[in-house]
């Protein structure tokens, strides 16, 4: 997920947008990583 979100950030958007990531109750620390590294991404957990 990190590489995907980094690629989205690498290019200026053509229009306004929001990025949502859906978490399925994972316990791998991905929600914390998303909040720390990608604060503009909305996490649905």
DSSP assignment letter at 28: S
Give the separation between CA 42 and CA 34, rounded to whole angstroms.
Answer: 9
Can you tell me whether residue 22 is helix, strand or coil? strand
Token digits for 3? 């590489």
Nearest Cα neighbor of 21 from 10, 9, 40 is 40
* pTM greater than 0.75 (yes/no): yes
Domain ranges of the chain: 2-44
pLDDT tens digits along 1-45 = 999 999 999 988 889 999 999 999 999 999 999 999 999 999 998
């Amino acid at each position: 997920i990190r590489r995907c979100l980094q690629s989205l950030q690498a290019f200026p958007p053509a229009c306004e947008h929001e990025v949502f990531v859906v978490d399925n109750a994972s316990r791998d620390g991905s929600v914390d990583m998303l909040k720390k590294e990608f604060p503009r991404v909305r996490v649905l957990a």
